Structure 1
Amino acid sequence: MEYYNATARKTKQGLQVDTHSHGVHYLIDEPKNAGGTNTGMNPVELELSTLGASLQATAK
């Protein structure tokens, strides 16, 4: 059985979250007009991206 692991920690900058999974690092944030610093995808954009990737893997 394969196990998955991910970490997410709040940074000191606005609503920014620093995440790590499977050796990959990325930032999740909100746009400036929503209180963030606009340095990464917001959670909705990230969710839509994961849905698109999942659909591509399923279609393959």
Structure 2
Amino acid sequence: MSAASLYPVRPEVAATTLTDEATYKAMYQQSVVNPEGFWREQGKRIDWIKPYTKVKR
């Protein structure tokens, strides 16, 4: 990604986020190292009509 395609986050938007840069980077690293485990955990945050049976194909 080039610097030209990065846009600063307005302070009022940043103040309402549920995470910070360190948390984001840790979650991203986990998603790269263990994508199946990461998405299994993230999938638990959603109420599914029918529970999923596979995390990754």
TM range (shorter): 0.3 to 0.5
Structure with bigger helix share is 2
Structure with bigger strand share is 1
TM-score (structure 2 length as normaliser): 0.40
TM-score (structure 1 length as normaliser): 0.38
